[in-house]
Structure 1
Amino acid sequence: MNYRGIDYSVAMTTTPGIWKWQFRIGDEFKAGKTETRIGLLAIRRVQLRIDRALKLAARVPS
């Protein structure tokens, strides 16, 4: 999937209600898990993390 130009993925694990996610911004790779039974909520949580990471990257001078 793509959000704000960032490719990311969200996948259900074998444990019900647990979703794995990952995305990359530049050289920085982020991955983790979120707990929810609703797939769209898992996607939204990853999008919020992407927003936070982009905001932080904009503040840090390169």
Structure 2
Amino acid sequence: MIHRGVEFSVTQVAIGIWAWRFQIGDRAFTGRTEAKLNLLAIRRVELRIDRELKKIQQQQARENDKD
């Protein structure tokens, strides 16, 4: 699946447990989440991607302010 240009995967490990993975640049992010529905697990990963992209944007903005 792709969210905001970031490819990610979500797989069920056990009932209600989902493993997820995505990569931004050379950094890989992995984890697990608890959710009864796969759509909820997917949404949680999308929110995590949004947070990581926002962090990167803020870091880049700070670096540009220094110049």
After the TM superposition, list the runs of 4 or more consecutive aligned residues in structure 1 that deviate by more than 6 angstroms: none
The count of residues paired between Structure 1 and Structure 2 equals 61
**Higher relative helix content:** 2
Matched, 1:48 2:47: yes
Q: CA RMSD in A?
A: 1.0
Partner of 2:34: 35
Structure 1 residue runs without a partner (length 5+): none
TM-score by length of 2: 0.87
TM score, norm. by length of structure 1: 0.93
Task: Give distance in 2, aligned partners of 1:56 and 1:36.
Answer: 25
Gaps of 5+ in 2: none
Larger Rg: 2
